[in-house]
Amino acid sequence: MLIVLTTDVTPQAQKAVEDRVRELGFTPHAIEGAGRTAIGITGNKGPVDPGHFRLMEGVADCIPVTAPYKLVSREVKHEDTVVDVAGVPIGGREIVVMAGPCAVESEQQILAAARGVRKSGASLLRGGAFKPRTSPYDFQGLRQKGLELLEKARGETGLKVVTEVKDTETLPLVAESADLLQIGARNMQNFSLLEAVGDLRKPVLLKRGMSSTIKELLMAAEYIVSRGNKQVILCERGIRTFETMTRNTLDLNAVPMLKAHSHLPVVVDPSHGIGIRSAVLPMARAAIAAGADGLIIEVHPDPDRALSDGMQSLDLPRFEVLMREIEKIASAVGRSLHRITA
Amino acid sequence: MLIVLTTDVTPQAQKAVEDRVRELGFTPHAIEGAGRTAIGITGNKGPVDPGHFRLMEGVADCIPVTAPYKLVSREVKHEDTVVDVAGVPIGGREIVVMAGPCAVESEQQILAAARGVRKSGASLLRGGAFKPRTSPYDFQGLRQKGLELLEKARGETGLKVVTEVKDTETLPLVAESADLLQIGARNMQNFSLLEAVGDLRKPVLLKRGMSSTIKELLMAAEYIVSRGNKQVILCERGIRTFETMTRNTLDLNAVPMLKAHSHLPVVVDPSHGIGIRSAVLPMARAAIAAGADGLIIEVHPDPDRALSDGMQSLDLPRFEVLMREIEKIASAVGRSLHRITA
Amino acid sequence: MLIVLTTDVTPQAQKAVEDRVRELGFTPHAIEGAGRTAIGITGNKGPVDPGHFRLMEGVADCIPVTAPYKLVSREVKHEDTVVDVAGVPIGGREIVVMAGPCAVESEQQILAAARGVRKSGASLLRGGAFKPRTSPYDFQGLRQKGLELLEKARGETGLKVVTEVKDTETLPLVAESADLLQIGARNMQNFSLLEAVGDLRKPVLLKRGMSSTIKELLMAAEYIVSRGNKQVILCERGIRTFETMTRNTLDLNAVPMLKAHSHLPVVVDPSHGIGIRSAVLPMARAAIAAGADGLIIEVHPDPDRALSDGMQSLDLPRFEVLMREIEKIASAVGRSLHRITA
Amino acid sequence: MLIVLTTDVTPQAQKAVEDRVRELGFTPHAIEGAGRTAIGITGNKGPVDPGHFRLMEGVADCIPVTAPYKLVSREVKHEDTVVDVAGVPIGGREIVVMAGPCAVESEQQILAAARGVRKSGASLLRGGAFKPRTSPYDFQGLRQKGLELLEKARGETGLKVVTEVKDTETLPLVAESADLLQIGARNMQNFSLLEAVGDLRKPVLLKRGMSSTIKELLMAAEYIVSRGNKQVILCERGIRTFETMTRNTLDLNAVPMLKAHSHLPVVVDPSHGIGIRSAVLPMARAAIAAGADGLIIEVHPDPDRALSDGMQSLDLPRFEVLMREIEKIASAVGRSLHRITA
């Protein structure tokens, strides 16, 4: 950080600023100009809170010079990170599609979904076993039984499994079962959960909070990576705005911004993002065109009977169409679809 | 509108509701159910304000059954509208690209821009002559001189001209000169201006207000169309959200939603939408992938010296790259780029 | 503005920056430090667009050092401005209440409203004659007839009149009739209209746009004041957020912020701000407690039959209660209610 | 929920809807009208997801008729709930003020804060021991040591203690120590934590998420109350909007809305809400004027040296002024300040 002093700063005030820097354990470096002086700070491991200085006498401005995130930053690591999800590489040249129902509802449902999305070219099966719901009265998922059904579907189809981890209590159970651990939007700043998955060595899909800035998403990823787990995939899934015609506002601007500022892979969830079945396809195309490394799509063998999020789920024929269209866009941007080998 | 009555409504209260409908000049139709009664309304030309009834005794709910916009609605006209801008069709199978500087600054600048974008395949030249600016101290445009320079560029290159009309006072001047009249985001609900362009028979590019809902954009278009001018093109240019890393949040969700609800063409302005030069290309690709009928792109022969919006303007080589990439996406969605014939 | 150069800037790059400053007509002042150099700019009348420099070689950052607004700033003028509205002082120790219906609907309605609000202690009568409406099919006001009815009510009650001016075409008509010209939220950045009222010498009530920042509101006021009309009153009336339970989000935070940054009076419109009749009273109290200089309240003699905004209008007995409650809060913050003398 | 059928619904389609209701375990009630039929649903404990029906053939609309929250609703319980926090009643006629530093930093700091706020009339001491922070590199609190210091301050001053509980792991520790458990804004939808505090019989202060609707806050409270813990206090602390001049947008509109829809007490945190020291006092006054039952205020004996949130903390003399001003507003709305008896 650079502390810009006022032009009329007194020597005492300048000294007080420098002393304060030292008190915090850092080293002040006075950069004296003709008209005014600035104080540079070194010795800090992370960003320094400008609040320490902003109200001190003689301080005109505090300019941060390092991003508050480091390990996830592209400044620190230039090359794209490719996350290996049980053999499926995410973040490389190939686009990876994850698909399946919002929630695991029954053996029949999840197997039908898995076979269908496998056939159309998905590489991962999504499906919630532990569901965080806004109302305490809504369906909360099949829990352990749901995990078992996902494993069964994986065994039969070869699809890898991504499923949400809702809290630290059930993390061991979910981590044992899933290939990719999803942190939901509402938990993006559940720092205890971030630390807990940071202590594992299992890939994590981190969804952006519905009113989190792009920078906050990167800070949340930094929590995980700073604990040693470097296998983090970022996920844009729609933000909250004033618009009411769509469920959320899928913020595709986040895709080029995340790719510019971070080396981590970026996937997009158009199903939650726009929340309207007929609009999932164009938004999925747009996500790939914007540079996303993958998609996560809600697919249900019988969407009108889904226990949750049926209005935004595709049926299997629509998903088949989506995959063909996505393939064309991938090709137009010089990429291709990943397909798992039986 | 359907007025749903409470189950315990008295005959007097129901009569009062029906009388109120008649007072407003409409006809009430009681739809009596076993458990409760609803009152349908006919005879209204536009939507009825539920505020007339919501607080009346015996009224449980008011359910709108017709969209508040009619003429611009796809329910009313199924086929896509193709707007003819001096021979350039917008809204058909072909993607149309409009490009040029934020503001006309000089003859040399606008001619260099026009020649460059023409060469890369743009069909329309954009450039502001009358500039609405947040600060009274900012550059307000070359005004009439700017229009003359745009005409000169059109004469030399064959590009059609789109430029902003800022107020009713200068509308005659701008309308005489431009091929396509742009209504800026800040004027989207300047109803007097909407009515004035509605009285012309000149194509209009209507930009979404920075905090306008999709429905409000359609209502603003309805203002124009209801005066007889059916040549309206809708433009998504970014909305205001909490995100600060991007200038605005380009809302590509608006593209499929507008196409679903209206027959009017939709173009996207990724330059203002995201406001960061390096991200204009991916967002332009995404816009076409989402189903947009065209793009409006800021291009400046020397962006670092632009008098406004330089940070989001492409130089000519970058624009050339963008056009080639857009062409691939257009092809992937079964469309092609429009090119003007010399 | 201060242009901070990178530590490794070349002499050529520094010279290019300085030349660019001169090209823009300003004077560069190099402030050389031990570690890095900054370039100060003088000679500019308003703020300089950082976009001119931010992408130049050798530029690390551009720090604005002057607020973009000047004439409305408290830095420039320390003492509160008191606007004289036909004898009613707004911005002094006394709280001023403006009240009346959303729209003038009939002679009987406006006279009943005027007599009622006068009796309860209002000083100004509000009432729309020219109504900007989201839908072209909604009631647009009685226009000239509405102005005549307002004048009649003024003649009878002594209340001063505030009414909205919708466009430059009808400005002369409205300006002749009204004591205080209201610029509505949708017109806050209608710069041509701002300039036109800036050329008058008539008090202006400038409403904050529904998604305008506090700074943009001050810039809009600067447009008016920079044309010579210093009689501007700022009005907070609710911003657009994700919340749907209230019509808008009345942003009372704007009150202390505007008072801190500007010398202009601030009034609050809780009726549009929250949009729910039963919540107008607590929000009106809160506005005064936050430091507002006045209120503008929708009052209708028969709100359930109002042609617009009935759901948020108070009837006369509720307004009488509000005035008594406001008086107590005014007293608690060391102020009192202004009352016009017959 | 009421399922409104289309006018041309076939008997088969209507039967399918009714069968679907039964499949979900509920009872359908056909309400046949002259023009159209609606299906009422009973037997559901909470709200029914309209997604089950909205896309079925013959369904025109789904109208929810019960609020999604029940136990916290004023419809279910008319009288205000008064929460007893170790003898301090919150939600009754008396206004309760909680004050103290953002984080417990040292024994000297917390004792100085406690003595000071006690003297000025606060009833609870606030202070974070476990701090959720956006960056993994920021100060995370003194943890257990922080709790011990809060207990010491309580022992000396008689103030009750409110402190944040960050996760289920540390909940037993915090619950043993605190008189009032604070759930922070980022954890408002951490449903596992909500359930865990719902299983305790200890008062809970539930802060509104920074982009949560008022309805979602009530749903989160419902999670706690539905587990048997009825001692919940709601807290408005600012929402995220486009405005950047203030840290958050303190949404005082939430106060009358929460009081209208729920019987639970409502307190306001103006310090986080606006985030600017000089504006805390006017917003605190406004909160009481809007009907809040209490305040939570950041006070630090030496705010410029605070390890977090110093810019929004009051020093002790400013807090003393605030208490005197609040007392006047409380009196103006017919209430008084609670004071603990030694």
Q: CATH number of the domain at B54, please.
A: 3.30.70.1140
CA distances from C31 to C22, C45, C203, D119 (A): 16, 21, 44, 50
Clarify whether residues C51 and C193 are in a common domain.
no
C47 close contact with B: CB closer than 8 A: yes
CB distance C35–A40 less than 8 Å? yes
Q: pLDDT of A316-338, one tens digit each?
A: 999 999 999 999 999 999 999 99
Band the pLDDT of C75: cuts 50, 70, 90: confident
Residues D100 and D110: their CA atoms lie apart, in Å, by 8
DSSP C146-210: HHHHHHHHHHHH--EEEEE---TTTHHHHHHH-SEEEEPGGGTT-HHHHHHHHTS-S-EEEEPPT
Half-sphere exposure of D114 (CA within 13 A, CB side): 27
CA distance B213 to chain D (A): 15
A75 within a domain of the structure (yes/no): no
Last residue of a domain, one of D63, D96, D111: D63
B328 close contact with A: CB closer than 8 A: yes
Hey, how many other C-beta atoms are within 10 angstroms of the C-beta on A334? 9
Residues D206 and B116: their CA atoms lie apart, in Å, by 59
pTM equals 0.85
Q: Which of B46, B133, B311 comes nearest C137 by C-beta? A: B46
CA distances from B10 to A69, B13, B15, B23, B57 (A): 65, 5, 9, 20, 9
Closest CA relative to residue A235, chosen from A248, A254, A263, A261 = A254
Domain that holds residue B43: 2-63
D6 close contact with B: CB closer than 8 A: no
Residues 6+ positions from B18 with CB-CB distance below 8 Å: B28, B30, B39
Q: What is the mean pLDDT of residues C260-286?
A: 96
Which of B44, B45, B49 to substitute to test the interface with C, most C CBs within 10 Å?
B49
Clarify whether residues C325 and C243 are in a common domain.
yes
pLDDT reported for residue C342 = 61
Q: Which of B35, B40, B240 comes nearest D242 by C-beta? A: B240
Residues B93 and B321: their CA atoms lie apart, in Å, by 22
Containing C316, the helix (H) or strand (E) segment is helix C316-332
Residues D216 and C245: their CA atoms lie apart, in Å, by 11
CB distance A33–C31 less than 8 Å? yes
Give the number of domains in chain A: 2
Residue with tokens 């209120």: C295
DSSP D183-249: EPGGGTT-HHHHHHHHTS-S-EEEEPPTT--HHHHHHHHHHHHTTT---EEEEE--B--S--SSSSB
Q: Which residue of A has its CA nearest to C35?
A: A31
Band the pLDDT of B38: cuts 50, 70, 90: confident
C194 backbone φψ class: left, alpha, beta (φ>0; ψ -120 to 50) = alpha
CA distance B33 to chain D (A): 3
Contacts of B168 in chain C (CB under 8 A): 167-169
Contacts of D31 in chain B (CB under 8 A): 33-36
C74 within a domain of the structure (yes/no): no
Contacts of C20 in chain B (CB under 8 A): 305
CB distance A63–C4 less than 8 Å? yes
Band the pLDDT of B32: cuts 50, 70, 90: low
Domain containing residue B255: CATH number:
3.20.20.70
Please tell me which chains touch D, using 3 or more CB pairs under 8 Å as the contact test. Answer: A, B, C
Residue D312 · residue D284 · CB < 8 Å: no
Q: Name the percent of chain B lying above pLDDT 90.
A: 69
Clarify whether residues C18 and C129 are in a common domain.
no
CB distance D4–B32 less than 8 Å? no
Q: How many residues does chain C have?
A: 342
Q: Name the percent of chain D lying above pLDDT 70.
A: 94
Closest CA relative to residue B250, chosen from B217, B269, B232, B273 = B273
CA distances from B139 to A170, A185, B128, C189 (A): 60, 43, 11, 16
CB distance C223–B136 less than 8 Å? yes
D77 within a domain of the structure (yes/no): no
Clarify whether residues B88 and B58 are in a common domain.
no
D250 close contact with C: CB closer than 8 A: yes
Q: How far apart are the first and last CA of chain C?
A: 53
Q: Which residue of A has its CA nearest to C239?
A: A242
Helices and strands: H and E segment counts in chain D: 10, 15
Q: What is the mean pLDDT of residues C46-51?
A: 71
Q: Which of D55, D133, D189 comes nearest A304 by C-beta? A: D55
A30 close contact with C: CB closer than 8 A: yes
Q: pLDDT of C184-206, one tens digit each?
A: 999 999 999 999 999 999 999 99
CA distance B333 to chain A (A): 8
Tell me the two tokens of residue B228.
Answer: 């007889």
**A29 - beta bridge partners?**
A40
Residue A222 · residue A69 · CB < 8 Å: yes
Please tell me which chains touch A, using 3 or more CB pairs under 8 Å as the contact test. Answer: B, C, D
Clarify whether residues B175 and B54 are in a common domain.
no
Clarify whether residues C236 and C150 are in a common domain.
yes
Instruction: Tell me the one-letter amino acid at D288.
Output: I
Is pLDDT above 70 for A32?
no
Residues 6+ positions from C22 with CB-CB distance below 8 Å: C28
Q: Which of C2, C40, C241 comes nearest A242 by C-beta? A: C241
Q: Which residue of C has its CA nearest to B191?
A: C132
Residues D117, D122, D128, D134, CA torsion sign: negative
**A97 - beta bridge partners?**
A295
CA distance C251 to chain D (A): 7
* Mean pLDDT over each residue of chain A, to the nearest integer: 91
Which of D131, D140, D165, D192 to substitute to test the interface with A, most A CBs within 10 Å?
D192
D140 within a domain of the structure (yes/no): yes
Q: What is the mean pLDDT of residues A18-24?
A: 87
Q: pLDDT of B233-247, one tens digit each?
A: 999 999 999 998 999
D99 within a domain of the structure (yes/no): yes
DSSP for residue D162: E
A210 close contact with C: CB closer than 8 A: no
What backbone torsions phi and psi does residue C3 show, to the nearest 5 degrees?
-100, 110
> Which of A37-41, A116-120, C104-108 comes out lowest in average pLDDT?
A37-41
Last residue of a domain, one of D63, D93, D113: D63
Is pLDDT above 80 for A66?
no
CA distance C309 to chain B (A): 7
C298 within a domain of the structure (yes/no): yes
Closest CA relative to residue B151, chosen from B94, B107, B117, B98 = B107
Q: What is the ipTM of this complex?
A: 0.84
Contacts of C166 in chain B (CB under 8 A): 191-192
What backbone torsions phi and psi does residue B161 show, to the nearest 5 degrees?
-115, 130
Band the pLDDT of B170: cuts 50, 70, 90: very high
Clarify whether residues B30 and B157 are in a common domain.
no
Q: Which residue of B has its CA nearest to C309?
A: B51
Clarify whether residues B8 and B129 are in a common domain.
no
pLDDT reported for residue D166 = 94
D51 close contact with A: CB closer than 8 A: yes
Residues B160 and D40: their CA atoms lie apart, in Å, by 58
What backbone torsions phi and psi does residue A232 show, to the nearest 5 degrees?
-115, 135
B29 close contact with D: CB closer than 8 A: yes
- Give CA D14 to chain center in angstroms: 42
Clarify whether residues A55 and A95 are in a common domain.
no
Clarify whether residues D52 and D88 are in a common domain.
no
Clarify whether residues A28 and A127 are in a common domain.
no
Clarify whether residues D326 and D250 are in a common domain.
yes
Band the pLDDT of C309: cuts 50, 70, 90: confident
Residues B96 and B288: their CA atoms lie apart, in Å, by 10
Which of A71, A191, A240, A307 to substitute to test the interface with D, most D CBs within 10 Å?
A191
Band the pLDDT of D136: cuts 50, 70, 90: confident
pLDDT reported for residue C56 = 84
Contacts of D241 in chain C (CB under 8 A): 239, 241, 249, 251
Tell me the two tokens of residue D323.
Answer: 């208490």
B199 close contact with D: CB closer than 8 A: no
Closest CA relative to residue A295, chosen from A151, A96, A102, A147 = A96
> Which of B6-15, B115-124, B173-182 comes out lowest in average pLDDT?
B6-15
pLDDT reported for residue B313 = 93
**D99 - beta bridge partners?**
D125, D297
Instruction: Tell me the one-letter amino acid at C38.
Output: A
Is pLDDT above 90 for D24?
no
- Give CA D199 to chain center in angstroms: 17
